[in-house]
Structure formats: structure tokens, C-alpha cells
Structure 1
Amino acid sequence: MFDFTPKDGGVKIVALLDTRKPNKNGTYPIRVRVTHQRVQKYYSTGSALSVSDWERLPTAKVKELKDIRQTVTDAAIVVKHHVEKLVKLDLFSFDSLNKRMSKGNSAEDTVHAAFTNRIADLKENGKVSTADWYKYTLRSLDLFAGDKIKFSQITVDWLKRYEQHLLSEQKSYTTISMYMRALQVVVNEAKSTGLIKPTQHPFGKGKYEIPQHEGRNIALSISDIGKIVKYDCETHTIEMCRDLWFFSYLCNGANITDLCKFKYSNIRNGEICFYRQKTIAKAKKKKLIHAPLLPEMEAIIKRWGNIEETPDTFLFPILQGGESPEMERTKIKNITKLMNTKMKAIGKNLGIQNISTYTARHSYATVLKRSGANIAFISESLGHNDLKTTENYLASFEQEERVKNAILLTKF
């Protein structure tokens, strides 16, 4: 038995003589067995041996057996590459592995095929939002250079031309950064499977560096938040959107996906306890966020929440449960769009610019910071994995505050 098990991921890979059923000539097929969560699947190597020849195989010097040993090794390494890639992306399942194995190595010879393969894997694993990100990137790449781009064509100069093309299309640096990061992931995969040499890798320091655009994060003052909360809403829909926005702000700046997925089981000992949907799949250390269930939040749940309070019932009637990943994504996008539209209208009436669902999270962090809260507490509340992330997150807000304060110096 030859062991090809990767270091991480909980998937075991071995090449073995499958003695469950002999061939007509008395030999047995050599297969690669993959084991995950006690489930085993077998993949052909195209070779077969007798039991005695199999026992000789590891040290055999006869050319015929040496060739079979190399064939078995090559077959196992192909399986290992696919397994490692899927595990690294947190997308491993036997369906995903079988799909990759059935397509063969040529499936990823082009950038288009590699993107298509990755999008299919993401959708199969319910990661519809990330799949959309890769789909939009692929569409952009196809418009720029067609669907036959080879990985060897992706050079530093090519990437610079692509960036200029995106700028000519009036894309923001935020969009450019997202497209380039998706492309970088796919190129990294190509390097790991040997489709390109490490020296051909075009991303990184001294090569092509993905532009980092520091977006203008808008944070509201506590005074502005008070005006929003006290606003006399014209319709029930506007009032609901305002209240959900306020709930997000109070709930540690929880994003709308998290808010939509809150269930009554998330309420424990007077707190809402949850993992951020955005980072739970990628983070090695899963951070449970604790948000005190304030009286204002209880009132919003009572006003707009589901009446049935069983553990598996969602707090708010946005999702019903049982939706496909695509339908779930659509419902969350629709409520987010509705909230942004109504909050923008409230802002216009109050003379407060740029109110959105993002503003609730930004405002939660900065109100705490300006009130003297400890950075470590803010970091923990936001679900950040380190203080540096929180410091960088708050930096742009504090620059705005410094500019506003500096103006006061000349208000004679």
C-alpha cells in the first residue's frame, strides 16, 4: 500500500491492490482509495497485478514493475492534487472530486475552463455569493481576451493591460481589486498543479501587485443615529427597513446576511450569539460573536419578527428555510436592496448622506471607539481575528474625524 495522504484536511489517500474481486486472469486492479468521514471511494489507475507482484512492487527493479509503480504514483498524485485543492478552498466533497476527475487535467488548461470548474464547485457547495464574484470576473476576462486564454499568457504586462482595460470601462479600483484577487486564486491553483512554473507566476511583490483601494467608509455620529431612530416613517415598509438597520447597528454591526439567518436558537442567556457568515468558511479559528440583546432589539423582534419562537424559527420572516442557495441569495439581496433604498430616502430627508446597510457596521465600530471603548473589545465584537485588522478598519474613520476637527482650528 502506498500512502499519499495530504498533511491537512482529514482526507486519506492510499494506492492499494483491490482484492475484493479478481480479474479473469487472476490479477487484481490497483486503485486509489480516498477516505473522508468514513466514506470510501475508489479511482482506477489503469493497472493490475497479482498479489505476489504487488508485494514486490515497492522495491522492484524489473522494468515492467517499475513502469507500473510510476503509473500508480502518477495516478495517485493527480487525485492528491485535486483533493488538496478542494480542501484548501473548503469545497471538498466526493461529488466535486468526481467531477474534477471525470474532466481530467485538461479541464483547467485554460483560464476560462478553470474558472468554470471553480464556479461549479462553489455552487455545488452552496457558496452562491462567491460563485457570482467569480462569474462576473470570468465574464470580464472573456470580454477582454476571449475564452481561450492560456495560463502562460497571464504575465505582468498582460495584467497591467487588463487593469487599464477595466479603468477604460470605468470600473472602480474596488471592482478591479476583486477581479484581480479572483484571477490570482485561479492562477495560484494552476501553479500548485504544475500548469505553470513558479517563475511564471505573475502576482506578488516586484511583479504585478493588486491595487489596494481604500474605500471611503462612512460612519455616522451618535447624534445622526438618534435622528434616524426617531424619524417619523411615512410607511410600514420604511419603518421596517429603518428598524432592521437599527437592529444591525445594535447587534455588533451584524451584516444583513447574518441578520437574515438569525434564529431563536441564537439567543442565549440574554445575548445573540453567532458566527459571521462572511468569514466562517475561511477562518481557521471560528469566532463566536456575543451581542447583548438590548430592550430596543427585543422591541424590534416583537414588532417585525416571527411569532413562533421555536429554536429553528428565523427571528425575522425573510427566509423560511429549505430555500436553494440561489433563492436564499436572491432573498437576501432583495431585502438589502430595499433597505438601502429606504435608508437613502430617510437620509435625504434628514440631510444625512450615504446611509446604507454598511453604515450600520461602520457606525457601531466608530461610536464605540469615540466613546473610549477598548480596541480589543471592538475587535472581538466585530469578529476580527487580530487587532491589526481592527486598527486598519478604524483608521479611515479616524482620518475623517481629524479633518473635521482640524477645520475647527480656523473657525474664529
Structure 2
Amino acid sequence: MATFNLVLDTRVVKKNNQYNLSIRANIGTKQLYIHISKMTKEQYHQIFVKKTMDKQSIEFRKKCSDLVTKSENIYNEMHPFDPKRFRKLVLGKDETAPENSLLLHNLFNRFTDSQTSLKKRTIDHFNYSKSVFHKYKPDLNVLDLDSKFISQFVKYRLDSGVSLSAVNSSLRDLRRIINYFSNEECIIPKNYKYPFGKGGFSIQNFFPRKLVMSNEEIKSVIELDDFDSKEQEYARDIWVMLYRCNGINFVDLFRMRWDNIKGDYLIFFRKKTETTRKNNVKEIVVPITEDLKKLIGKIGVRNSPYILGKLQDGYSESSFENKNHKWKKILNKELSVISEKLNLSVPLRLKNARDSYASTLRRAKVSKDDIGDMLGHANSIVTEHYLASIDMETTFDINKHLL
């Protein structure tokens, strides 16, 4: 049993004959005073007994009444009861107060601050999702999130021209936040109706179809020998190396070391999978063909432990991300000039070396299982979706039978 009342605590007199105006909490056999202001007996009598009707007194009474209600709500949600934290929560001195902790942007902040194993890129992604929801509805409380709200959010984003894959990405971050604070750091009330899954909103698996270069276009990039600058040639060489290294992402080439070379192979793990919880993470095994050996000899920096020579041992995650972003921007700028020079049907970018690799193998009738193995996919389902997304050109072969 607990009761909460507003009282003038006359046990101790303060300066100028003032006393503490307090919330007195009677919790079982214990009594707790939370001081919220100071006033004289005369002031207390005027404001709370006679209830003077001037604007300032009315507003002050309302503020005090709200604090009493707040005390009751906090007590009902606090199990077990912690007097020290209870006092802080009532006075608003604890950033994890219920009315603040359940604000969605605070949950995002609390999650990224507590997860020390998160990569900078992942934290940036969560921060972006946080800003997306905050922009849609500032001071959004997680308890306001139901399947109807999420459906309205999705429609708004799609109508704004945002791709479905980008919308789904934000929803997955939201789902992770709700799951974490429901099941791990349990501050979301148990009676909260989970908005996802059965009976709720389902995040659709969406694999956008991609346009890919033809074999002739890929060959024209590889054989290009007319460059405007050394920087342009270097960018092309980097693209070709990504292509010849099983279509890896630039981030993996950027951090690739000379000691990843094991005899006639490059063997390494993708950065994307190094912190995954799955137990079937695969090594990428790249056979070092004569073409690849020449390319490594051309762009490799021998006096560095890293093949591209852009990093030094002991780099921080932040430093790595900054340098990686900087070099991607530089290289893609040069590749865009090559796109125009060769009049390619698809803009040449570092990221489409992976699509080009997979599509080359598919056109050569290499099995999906072998393609998936070379790409480092954990299962054939991922490969099925990946290959389906790049196989646009077959639509012409199919529809050529039309009358």
C-alpha cells in the first residue's frame, strides 16, 4: 500500500521562516519526503488552503498536482522499488525516467551507447533511422507504435520517394530497438502490444532488380588503356581488382593485408560478417590468377602491411570509416568519367563490381551454389535473391517470343 500527498514539511525550518514543500510518500511502513520547493506557512496557506486564484498560484498548484500523479505512476512501474532512483525520477534528474526513457529517440541513444561492440557504420545507421522517425513525429513514444502507425509511416516514406528497401532498413532498426528494450533491458511495459510479426506489421523482404553491364561492357572497362590521368587509371584498376577478387566490396580490399595471401590464394573474411552471430560464416577464397597477380603487383604497396597501403596498424574504427569513405568518393568520381567515356549502360561504381562478377558467372552457366560459395553467401536462399535481382537482361529473351 502506498499513498502520496503534498505537504509542508515543518520538521525543519529554513531561512526566512521557510519550510520544504514536499511530496510525502507513505510506502508500507516507510515514509519518504521529496522536496520540490520552499515557502512560508503563510504562502502555503494562501496557495493550497485558501486557493488564491491568481494565474501564478493556479499554475503552481497544477505543477505540484502533476508531480504527485507522476510519483504514483513511477511507483507503479518500479519493480523493485528503489528510493534513491525514485527520488531522481520524480524530480526529473534521471534521464531514464519512464516518460523520457520511452521516447523513441532516447531509446535509440540508450541502445547505441550501451552496445560497445557496434561498428561506427552500424551506429551511424541507427542514428539515421532515429532521425527519420523523429522527423516524421518528434517526441514519439514507443508506446504509440502499433501496426497502424507503422503502416502510415511506410506510406508516408514511400510517397516521399524513398525506396522500399530504405524504408525496410529503418523498420529493422526500429524492430531491434523494441526487441532489445522488451527482452533484454526490459523497460518497455509487458502489456505493450508488439507491432511486428504475427497479427502485426510484416517487414517485406525486398530485393530490387539491378541493371548490370553486358560482358562486352565489362571487357571494355578491363581493356581500357586511354586515360586522362594516373588517378583515373588507378580507379579503373581498383574496380577490376574488386571484380577479379570474387566481386568483393571495396571495404574488404581497403583493409586487405599482404599476409592474406596464402600460396596461390587470397583468403579473408568479409568485414560485413565478422561480427555476425551466425555460426556458418565463410572465408572468401580467391584464386590468384595471372591477371590478378599482375594487378596486385601494379597497385600493391610493398612497404605497407596493407596491400593498398592506405592504412597503418592500430587504426581506430572511426579513422577507418573516414578513410574508407574518402577513398570511395575519390575513386567513384574517376569511375564516373570512365562511364561517360565508354558510354556504359550502367554507371561504373565500385559497388557494381560485385554485380558484374556474379552476372559474368551466371552467363557462363556456373551453378548458383558455386556462385554463392565464391560470393561468401551463407546459404543458397541469399544467392537466389541476389541472382534474381541482377538478371534483368533475360526479360528481353523471354518477351522476344511475343507476336
Q: Structure 1, residues 154-178: CA drift from partner, whole Å, max 9, x if none? A: 1112112222332344322222111
The 1-side partners of 2:191 and 2:245 are apart by: 45
Q: 1:221 to 1:270 in 2, by over 3 A?
A: same
Q: 1:333 to 1:108 in 2, by over 3 A?
A: same
Q: Structure 1, residues 157-209: CA drift from partner, whole Å, max 9, x if none? A: 21122223323443222221111111111011122126143760101244212
Q: TM-score, normalised by structure 1?
A: 0.69
The 1-side partners of 2:268 and 2:95 are apart by: 39
> Which shifted more, 234-243 or 195-204?
195-204
**1:321 Cα deviation (Å)?**
3.0
Unaligned runs of 5+ in 2: 1-78, 82-93
- Residue identity matched to 1:239: E
Match of residue 373 from structure 1: 366
Match of residue 243 from structure 1: 237
What are the equivalent positions in structure 2 for 1:251-266 lying under 5 Å apart? 251-266=245-260
Using the aligned pairs only, state the percent identity: 23
Unaligned runs of 5+ in 1: 1-72, 76-101
- Residue identity matched to 2:394: R
Match of residue 223 from structure 1: 216
What are the equivalent positions in structure 2 for 1:267-346 lying under 5 Å apart? 267-282=261-276, 283-308=278-303, 313-346=305-338
- Residue identity matched to 1:351: N
Q: 1:361 to 1:120 in 2, by over 3 A?
A: same
**1:74 Cα deviation (Å)?**
6.5
> Which shifted more, 257-266 or 274-283?
274-283
> Which shifted more, 254-263 or 320-329?
320-329
The 2-side partners of 1:349 and 1:163 are apart by: 40
- Residue identity matched to 1:397: I
Q: 1:410 to 1:155 in 2, by over 3 A?
A: closer
Out of 379, 390, 402, the position equivalent to 1:397 is: 390
Out of 201, 209, 214, the position equivalent to 1:208 is: 201
What are the equivalent positions in structure 2 for 1:143-222 lying under 5 Å apart? 143-147=135-139, 149-192=140-183, 193=186, 195-197=188-190, 200-222=193-215
**Does the aligned pair in 2 maintain the 1:114–1:186 contact within 8 Å?**
yes
- Residue identity matched to 1:248: L
Aligned length: 307
**Does the aligned pair in 2 maintain the 1:191–1:198 contact within 8 Å?**
no
**Does the aligned pair in 2 maintain the 1:173–1:212 contact within 8 Å?**
no
**Does the aligned pair in 1 maintain the 2:377–2:383 contact within 8 Å?**
yes
1:112 aligns with 2:105: yes
**1:249 Cα deviation (Å)?**
0.6
The 1-side partners of 2:194 and 2:382 are apart by: 28
Q: Structure 1, residues 193-226: CA drift from partner, whole Å, max 9, x if none? A: 2614376010124421224443232332322111
The 2-side partners of 1:199 and 1:113 are apart by: 18
**1:272 Cα deviation (Å)?**
0.6
**1:105 Cα deviation (Å)?**
8.2
Q: 1:252 to 1:382 in 2, by over 3 A?
A: same
The 2-side partners of 1:196 and 1:218 are apart by: 47
The 3-state SS of whatever aligns with 2:285 is strand
Q: 1:252 to 1:121 in 2, by over 3 A?
A: farther
**1:393 Cα deviation (Å)?**
0.9
**1:329 Cα deviation (Å)?**
0.4
Q: 1:206 to 1:339 in 2, by over 3 A?
A: farther
Larger Rg: 2
Match of residue 87 from structure 1: none
**1:320 Cα deviation (Å)?**
2.4
The 2-side partners of 1:221 and 1:112 are apart by: 45
The 1-side partners of 2:191 and 2:221 are apart by: 54
1:384 aligns with 2:384: no
